[in-house]
């Protein structure tokens, strides 16, 4: 099977390269920060405005499956983060270690979770509800988990000031978006595909600003090739374990094939679209560019593996 790289990640990598070659600094960097903060507000306002009552109610009664998926996202993944915290600095640098821990605390995706569940013949309605619930809860749960798991460090300490930032910059616009649905619902539905471009543009702004700061400040010298190799190995191991675990936990709980597929594709995903804006709020500008590297690697790898598994499961279903 021929794999195609995720176009979003290809553009993100291009944005990263541009930031390293042509970084912004001084007044331009200040303006970019303001524009990015406005973009993050609009991004989460859009998330709230797009979530319809029908989507929230569809499949909501399948509570056992939803708890299984949320448990994978916010319990099993954080448990995996515990041994990562114990990795000594001599083996893996602190920013990379924080990035791995943060990866384990980020909520699931919506679009790719539902897409791969559909491609594999899984329970689409339940996948939609569970993945959406993960994103909504993640606005609060991820920062709270970060406060518990991420130790005080340069650029990596999470406190109540950062939690307040999350409430103001992420949760407030989401609530306002939900409240605006009586006015904005039809517009959001008509322009759903175009609005995804806005979402992606905000992510590109965040990446460009973060890696510009990385280039100007010289923080890039902290990233060693040995760290990157170890990160790839750990990320691949975490993903492999979670695919194995989510498939088998569905069987242990007595789910049918469609629900097991939903658990697997929703319970293994981590959202780049939600994680990068969260990181920009939770961490200092000098830390974000390094901290999001494990999440970016995991994102691409999860898409490649999911593409292969979805095709295999679809063929198995068609074969009877």
- Taking the CA of residue 128 as centre, how many other CA atoms within 13 Å lie in the half-sphere pointing to its CB? 16
pLDDT of the residue at 55:
56
Q: CA 306 to CA 301: how far, in whole Å?
A: 8
User: How many residues are recorded in the chain?
Assistant: 320
Residue of 192, 68, 78, 57 whose CA lies nearest to 145:
78
Q: How many CB atoms lie within 10 A of CB 136?
A: 19
| 121 contacts 115 by C-beta, under 8 angstroms | no
Q: CA 260 to CA 123: how far, in whole Å?
A: 8
| 135 contacts 110 by C-beta, under 8 angstroms | yes
H-type alpha helices, 51-106:
53-57, 63-71, 77-85, 94-105
Q: CA 54 to CA 187: how far, in whole Å?
A: 16
User: In Å, how far from its chain's centre is CA 164?
Assistant: 20
* pLDDT tens sequence for the chain (320 residues): 455 555 666 777 788 788 878 888 889 988 988 898 888 888 778 877 876 666 555 555 678 888 999 999 999 999 999 999 889 988 988 888 999 999 999 998 877 787 788 888 888 778 877 887 887 788 888 888 988 888 654 444 455 665 566 677 777 887 888 888 888 878 877 777 777 677 778 777 877 887 787 677 665 666 778 888 899 999 999 999 999 999 999 999 999 999 999 999 999 999 877 888 888 888 877 778 788 889 888 887 887 788 788 888 888 877 66
| 306 contacts 175 by C-beta, under 8 angstroms | no
pLDDT of the residue at 1:
45
Sequence spans of domains, the chain: 7-311
Q: Please give the helix or strand (H or E) that residue 126 lies within, else none.
A: helix 124-149
Tokens of 230: 């170890």
SS3 call for 92 = coil
Q: At what angle do helices 272-282 and 124-149 cross, to 10 degrees?
A: 20
- Residue showing tokens 């590297």: 293
| 107 contacts 267 by C-beta, under 8 angstroms | no
Burial classification of residue 297, based on how many CB atoms lie within 10 Å of its CB (0-12 exposed, 13-18 middle, 19 or more buried): buried
| 215 contacts 29 by C-beta, under 8 angstroms | no
Q: CA 224 to CA 199: how far, in whole Å?
A: 31
From the candidate CATH numbers 3.40.50.2000, 3.10.450.40, 1.20.1530.20, 1.20.1270.360, the one assigned to the domain spanning 7-311 = 1.20.1530.20
What one-character-per-residue DSSP string does 139-200 give?
HHHHHHHHHHHSPS-TTT---HHHHHHHIIIIIHHHHHHHHTHHHHHHHHHHTHHHHHHHHH
Tokens of 315: 């063929």
């Amino acid at each position: 099977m021929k794999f195609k790289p995720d176009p979003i990640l290809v553009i993100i990598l291009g944005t990263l390269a541009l930031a390293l070659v042509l970084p912004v600094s001084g007044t331009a960097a200040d303006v970019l920060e303001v524009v990015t903060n406005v973009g993050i507000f609009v991004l989460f306002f859009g998330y709230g405005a797009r979530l319809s009552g029908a989507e929230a109610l569809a499949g909501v009664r399948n509570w056992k499956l939803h708890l299984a998926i949320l448990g994978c996202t916010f319990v099993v993944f954080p448990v995996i983060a515990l041994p990562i915290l114990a990795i000594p600095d001599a083996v893996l640098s602190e920013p990379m270690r924080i990035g791995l821990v943060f990866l384990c605390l980020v909520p699931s995706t919506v679009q790719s979770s539902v897409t791969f569940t559909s491609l594999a013949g899984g329970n689409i309605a339940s996948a939609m509800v569970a993945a959406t619930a993960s994103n909504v809860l993640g606005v609060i749960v991820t920062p709270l988990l970060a406060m518990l798991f991420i130790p005080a460090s340069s650029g990596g300490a999470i406190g109540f000031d950062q939690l307040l930032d999350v409430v103001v910059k992420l949760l407030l616009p989401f609530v306002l978006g939900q409240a605006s649905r009586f006015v904005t619902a039809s517009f959001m539905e008509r322009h759903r595909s175009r609005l995804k471009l806005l979402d992606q543009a905000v992510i590109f702004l965040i990446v460009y600003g973060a890696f510009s700061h990385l280039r100007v400040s010289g923080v890039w010298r902290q990233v060693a090739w040995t760290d990157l190799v170890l990160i790839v190995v750990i990320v691949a191991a975490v993903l492999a374990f979670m695919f194995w675990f989510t498939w088998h936990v569905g069987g242990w709980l007595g789910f049918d094939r469609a629900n097991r597929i939903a658990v697997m594709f929703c319970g293994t995903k981590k959202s780049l679209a939600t994680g990068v804006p969260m990181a920009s709020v939770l961490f200092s500008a000098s830390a974000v560019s390094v901290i999001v590297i494990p999440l970016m690697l995991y994102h691409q790898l999860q898409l490649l593996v999911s593409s292969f598994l979805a095709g295999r499961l679809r063929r198995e279903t068609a074969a009877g």
